[in-house]
């Protein structure tokens, strides 16, 4: 009777992170975008740049062509509004599941549970390179602890989700990442959990990981100095509870101060803050803009919306025939459409210009 790998069906070796990067290298244009966007995010978090971070894009990527169509549109507005807003694009490719389901573009690009991870890695790098080459910084969730070695050189901003903020694995991983990391409050709405995660990730850590040659390694980190809280709402029993109001932002900032952290808070206008109803994202958006620009909330540094070419969501066909999917509609959480996205971004830009706290550009 074997004592290990009893429940393992197979092992499939992958190319090393270095080999994947050699196959799909970062272009000079993409590198410049990553460096500029990372610096902008860092300076906004540290309050030396008074712009507002705005992260917009699909709940999850499922079609590279549609994602690039969206990116081309968003890149135009990012350039147009760059003196007051730092707009990054959600390119979320690794999805947490409450139970089971599609694990995302990087894990299963064909959406048929074949889980061709190698193809997913290649398509993810290719897509992120192309988005960056448009001059648009990439934002994504860091979920799989080994995935950053394959694609983090293309990421300007990262998030640790509500389900993993309490995870020691993700806190230690975040301590070594090269970009600012936002930690979401727990699924119940507890912001202290995110603050504790930032304390842990800002400290030097040691953990098991892999290096660029794919070798198991002891990883020692310096700590990540640019952690911040993301308020995404929570739930009480069967009811969703929002936490985008000024009192919630102040509470999260005070918790960070008490932990001797630089207070920096982002509002996620989706998820529980909209009761998972995309038509309600604008409620959180409008409230946050009012806080930021009419009441000079210096600790509110960013906002996030889930946005796609077309509004709403759809189910993945049971026969996994992607041709049956409606173009530009989310297959996970419902998103606002492009038309509403344009209105929201223009509104933010205009309020940034009229508000007492005028933005500056690096």
Q: How many helices (H) and strands (E) does the chain have?
A: 10, 12
User: What share of the chain in percent tops pLDDT 90?
Assistant: 94
Distance CA 178, CA 285 (A): 29
Average pLDDT over residues 157-182: 97
Distance CA 177, CA 216 (A): 17
Answer whether residue 356 shows pLDDT above 70: no
The answer to whether 299 and 253 are in contact (CB under 8 A) is yes
Kindly indicate the confidence band of residue 96, based on its pLDDT and cuts at 50, 70 and 90. Answer: confident
pLDDT of residue 17: 97
89 Cβ partners below 8 Å, 6+ apart?
A: 55, 56, 57, 70, 71, 74, 131, 136, 137, 138, 139
Kindly indicate the confidence band of residue 35, based on its pLDDT and cuts at 50, 70 and 90. Answer: very high
pLDDT of residue 24: 98
Nearest-CA neighbor of 300 among 236, 235, 351? 351
Q: Give the tokens for residue 113.
A: 């549970």
Answer whether residue 230 shows pLDDT above 80: yes
Per the model's pLDDT, the better-predicted residue between 348 and 95 turns out to be: 348
| Cα dihedral 98→104→107→108 (10° resolution) | 110
Kindly indicate the confidence band of residue 355, based on its pLDDT and cuts at 50, 70 and 90. Answer: low
The answer to whether 94 and 143 are in contact (CB under 8 A) is yes
Distance CA 141, CA 313 (A): 20
The answer to whether 87 and 136 are in contact (CB under 8 A) is yes
Which residue shows structure tokens 């995404």? 232
The model's pLDDT over 185-224, given as tens digits with 9 standing for 90+, comes to 999 999 999 999 999 999 999 999 999 999 999 999 999 9
Strand-pairing partners, residue 131, are none
Distance CA 284, CA 21 (A): 39
Kindly indicate the confidence band of residue 1, based on its pLDDT and cuts at 50, 70 and 90. Answer: confident
Mean pLDDT of the chain, nearest integer: 95
Answer whether residue 40 shows pLDDT above 60: yes
Answer whether residue 360 shows pLDDT above 50: no
Phi-psi region of 101 (alpha: psi -120 to 50; beta: other; left: phi over 0): left
Distance CA 75, CA 78 (A): 5
282-286: Cβ within 8 A, 24+ apart: 282/336, 282/340, 282/344, 284/242, 284/244, 285/344, 285/347, 285/348, 286/347
Distance CA 352, CA 288 (A): 12
Answer whether residue 361 shows pLDDT above 70: no
**Arch. (CATH architecture) of 17-354:** Alpha-Beta Barrel (3.20)
45 Cβ partners below 8 Å, 6+ apart?
A: 180, 226, 228, 262, 264, 301
Identify the helix (H) or strand (E) that includes residue 80: helix 64-80
The model's pLDDT over 267-318, given as tens digits with 9 standing for 90+, comes to 999 999 999 999 999 999 999 999 999 999 999 999 999 999 999 999 999 9
Q: Give the tokens for residue 205.
A: 């850590």
Domain ranges of the chain: 17-354
pLDDT of residue 95: 87
The model's pLDDT over 55-86, given as tens digits with 9 standing for 90+, comes to 999 999 999 999 999 999 999 999 999 999 99
């Amino acid at each position: 009777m074997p004592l290990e790998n009893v429940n393992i069906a197979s092992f499939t070796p992958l190319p090393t992170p270095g080999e994947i990067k050699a196959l799909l290298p970062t272009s000079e244009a993409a590198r410049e975008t990553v460096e500029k966007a990372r610096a902008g995010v860092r300076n906004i978090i540290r309050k030396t740049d008074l712009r507002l971070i705005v992260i917009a894009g699909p709940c999850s990527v499922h079609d590279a062509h549609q994602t690039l169509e969206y990116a081309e549109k968003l890149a135009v507005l990012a350039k147009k509004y760059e003196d007051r807003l730092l707009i990054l694009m959600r390119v979320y490719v690794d999805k947490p599941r409450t139970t089971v389901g599609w694990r995302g573009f990087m894990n299963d690009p064909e959406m048929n549970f074949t889980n061709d991870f190698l193809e997913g890695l290649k398509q993810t790098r290719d897509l992120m390179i192309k988005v960056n080459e448009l001059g648009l910084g990439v934002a994504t969730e860091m979920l799989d602890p080994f995935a950053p070695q394959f694609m983090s050189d293309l990421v300007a901003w990262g998030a640790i989700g509500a389900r993993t903020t309490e995870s020691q694995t993700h806190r230690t991983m975040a301590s070594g990442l090269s970009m600012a990391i936002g930690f979401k409050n727990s699924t119940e709405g507890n912001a202290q959990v995110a603050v504790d995660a930032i304390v842990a990730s800002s400290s030097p850590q040691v953990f098991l990981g892999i290096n660029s040659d794919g070798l198991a390694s002891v990883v020692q980190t310096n700590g990540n100095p640019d952690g911040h809280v993301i308020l995404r709402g929570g739930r009480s029993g069967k009811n969703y509870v929002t936490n985008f109001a000024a009192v919630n932002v102040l509470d999260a900032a005070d918790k960070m101060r008490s932990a001797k952290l630089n207070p920096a808070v982002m509002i996620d206008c989706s998820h529980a803050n909209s009761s998972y109803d995309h038509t309600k994202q604008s409620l959180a958006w409008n409230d946050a803009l009012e806080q930021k620009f009419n009441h000079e909330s210096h600790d509110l540094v960013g906002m996030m919306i889930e946005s796609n070419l077309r509004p709403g969501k759809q189910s993945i066909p049971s026969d996994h025939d992607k041709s049956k999917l409606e173009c530009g509609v989310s297959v996970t959480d419902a998103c606002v459409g492009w038309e509403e996205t344009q209105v929201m971004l223009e509104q933010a830009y205009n309020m940034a210009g009229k508000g007492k706290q005028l933005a500056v550009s690096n």
